[in-house]
Amino acid sequence: MAAAASACGGAGCRPQCSASAGGEGDAPAESMGRLSISAAAATCGKCDGGGAAVAVAGGVGMCADCFRAHLFGKFKLAVTSNAMVRPTDAVLLAFSGGPASRVALQFIHEMQSKAIQSWETSNSQALPAFRLGVAFVDESVLSVRPGHEIDMAIEDIKSILSSLSPGDKQLHVAPLEDVISSGSDDKAARLKELVGVINDETGRDDFIRCLRMLSLQKIALENGYTKIMLGTCASGIACHVLSATVKGQGYALPADVQYVDTRWEVPVVLPLHDCLAQELNLLCELYSLKTQQLLNRPCSGINGLVASFVSRLREENPSREHTILRTAQKLKPFSFNKFSANGYHDFLPSRLRPKFQNIDANESTFSEILCLICGSPFSESELQNLENTKHKAQKKIDLYTAHCCQSCHFQILPAATDMHGHFFSLLPKFWTEKVDTASASHSSVRDQIADYLLDEDDEN
């Protein structure tokens, strides 16, 4: 999700890190845990060059340039081997200001400028370069931070973008409250009310995460972007694996841990899937890539507990996050976790095309039913519940409720069922409309005869 980028790059390991990184000389080494910058280690294990070597989790010392190349290699491999970016694509990068999204911006910019270069030098014989835009979701409506800090952060982002050339990168700043369906009334107040209805701390955290994704989708749709790129990294995914397990979302989990996620209207890609948050922090440190620690969104509730658990595991064994990720990747992904549209691979280099040829045509449209709020695919028991409700549902509210996964049901929906109507009326229309269209055929019949039906609640 959009927030996962900040969950690792920002909040995931933050409580300990930001506390220790107090501006002293050895702060970076301390904050990186085992990844330390040690001037003592003489040579780089890769290029035998001099300079300060970086100890990577594996133990091989690397110089800063090799370290950067190592991470860029992982990024590029993820992008090319999963066909994340086509030459005709317009990519929207979700930028939170944390190290992960900062590195993603840097790397995707490099790929873009290379493409532009070859387009220009080859006299338009090569493939065209993709378009790149940057989105920043402004959540000041929900935070207590003074507005001028946000403004300053946005200025910073603008200056970062202007320093990246060639290639124009448009910046889209969207306040989170924009996801609330347009109307004359105060969106910010409605959003605050909506979030206030949710009692569970973890639920609120997850709900804001879903809103953030909705906001990104909205920006992408309105501005003609065809891909959304997130800075979610391995550490963030490892946290998500555990927190999803703890929330009982074991069935839906594999949907969130893949490189590609096409269940949204604009597909989402995760090119930093294999990089650890520490590595990204270190890279920002080494190359003085400016990050926005001010905008950190600390996670709370269960997500916070999981983040501190993972950071404790990391101290005990630095490769634990990779192990967790590997476990999750052994689970069966969903059909929407890969690109399969017709003609999609026309622009791929021919040597990669065979990789994507053997896609079953039947799978091209996925049939999973997704949770109204968080988009988790339904497990069997949830499907059963939905089927049962569909048959006897009298009101739209019941149908909406049945379209929420069990986890959202518990932690996001209000406990009192009579509050559900109010809650769903506040929700962004984008979500409830999906259910409306899905049940349109069913309800239109009902609407035709609605005048003749007596309301059960009507005692008169």
Partner 1 sequence: MDGPGAEGARLPPARAGSRLCVRCGERKAALKRPKTLEQICRECFYIVFEDEIHQTIVENSLFKAGERVAIGASGGKDSTVLAHVLSELNCHHNYGLDLFLLSVDEGITGYRDDSLETVKRNEIQYGLPLKIASYKDLYGWTMDNIVKAIGLKNNCTFCGVFRRQALDRGAALLKADKIVTGHSADDIAETVLLNILRGDIARLSRCTFITTGEDGPIPRCKPFKYTYEKEIVIYPVYEISYIFISFFTTPTLFKIENGLIWLYHDPGIYSPNAYRGFAREFIKDLERMRPRAILDIIKSGENFRISTTRRMPEQGTCERCGYISSQKLCKACVLLDGLNRGLPKLGIGRTKAGAGAESDGKQRTKRSERNTSSLQGKHGNFDF
Our CB check for partner 1 shows the closer of 51 and 414 to be 414
Tokens 């899937």 identify what position? 273
Candidate list 52, 246, 426, 438; residue touching partner 1; CB under 8 A: 246
CB 57 within 8 A of CB 319: yes
Our CB check for partner 1 shows the closer of 18 and 329 to be 329
Candidate list 330, 351, 391, 392; residue touching partner 1; CB under 8 A: 330
Identify the CA nearest to 230 among candidates 67, 75, 56, 69. Answer: 75
Our CB check for partner 1 shows the closer of 122 and 317 to be 317
**Distance between CA 19 and CA 71 in Å, rounded?**
26
Q: Note whether 207 binds partner 1 by CB under 8 A.
A: no
Name, in order, each residue with C-beta under 8 angstroms of 418's C-beta and a sequence gap of 6 or more. Answer: none
Please identify, among the stretches 29-37, 152-160, 251-259, 289-297, the one whose residues bind partner 1 according to the rule CB under 8 A.
Answer: 251-259
Distances (CA, A) of 156 to 100, 151, 171: 16, 9, 12
Tokens 């809650």 identify what position? 423
Q: Note whether 241 binds partner 1 by CB under 8 A.
A: yes
Torsion of CA 142, 304, 265, 425, to 10 degrees: -50
Our CB check for partner 1 shows the closer of 127 and 313 to be 313
Tokens 């070859």 identify what position? 118
Candidate list 244, 266, 370, 412; residue touching partner 1; CB under 8 A: 244
Q: Note whether 57 binds partner 1 by CB under 8 A.
A: no
Candidate list 248, 298, 414, 421; residue touching partner 1; CB under 8 A: 248
Q: State the number of binding residues for partner 1 (CB under 8 A).
A: 34
Shortest CB 386 distance to partner 1, Å: 16
How do beta strands 53-55 and 61-63 pair?
antiparallel
Our CB check for partner 1 shows the closer of 190 and 314 to be 314
CB 273 within 8 A of CB 259: yes
Task: Give the ranges where 138-200 is alpha helix by DSSP (H).
Answer: 147-163, 187-197
How many angstroms separate the most distant Cα atoms in the chain? 88
Candidate list 253, 282, 295, 405; residue touching partner 1; CB under 8 A: 253
Name, in order, each residue with C-beta under 8 angstroms of 355's C-beta and a sequence gap of 6 or more. Answer: 81
**Distance between CA 186 and CA 66 in Å, rounded?**
52
Tokens 């990747």 identify what position? 329
Our CB check for partner 1 shows the closer of 109 and 314 to be 314
Shortest CB 253 distance to partner 1, Å: 7
Candidate list 141, 171, 188, 331; residue touching partner 1; CB under 8 A: 331
Mapped onto helix, strand or coil, the DSSP state of residue 329 is helix
CB 278 within 8 A of CB 214: no
Restricted to residues 391-410, the positions that interact with partner 1 (CB under 8 A) are: 407, 410
Our CB check for partner 1 shows the closer of 114 and 312 to be 312
**Distance between CA 156 and CA 289 in Å, rounded?**
12
Phi first, then psi, for residue 195 (nearest 5°) are: -70, -35
Name, in order, each residue with C-beta under 8 angstroms of 228's C-beta and a sequence gap of 6 or more. Answer: 91, 92, 93, 94, 135, 216, 217, 220, 264, 266, 267, 268, 269
Our CB check for partner 1 shows the closer of 192 and 409 to be 409
**Tokens found for residue 28:** 């970076």
Shortest CB 248 distance to partner 1, Å: 3
Our CB check for partner 1 shows the closer of 320 and 429 to be 320
Q: Note whether 323 binds partner 1 by CB under 8 A.
A: yes
* Residues 282-321, mask of contacts with partner 1 (x by CB under 8 A): -------------------xx--x---x--xx--xx--x-
Shortest CB 340 distance to partner 1, Å: 19
Restricted to residues 360-389, the positions that interact with partner 1 (CB under 8 A) are: 379
Our CB check for partner 1 shows the closer of 94 and 237 to be 237
Tokens 């889209």 identify what position? 172
Candidate list 31, 112, 232, 249; residue touching partner 1; CB under 8 A: 249
Q: Note whether 415 binds partner 1 by CB under 8 A.
A: no
Q: Which residues of the shown chain bind partner 1 in the complex (CB under 8 A)? A: 200, 202, 241-242, 244-251, 253-254, 301-302, 305, 309, 312-313, 316-317, 320, 323-324, 326-328, 330-332, 379, 407, 410
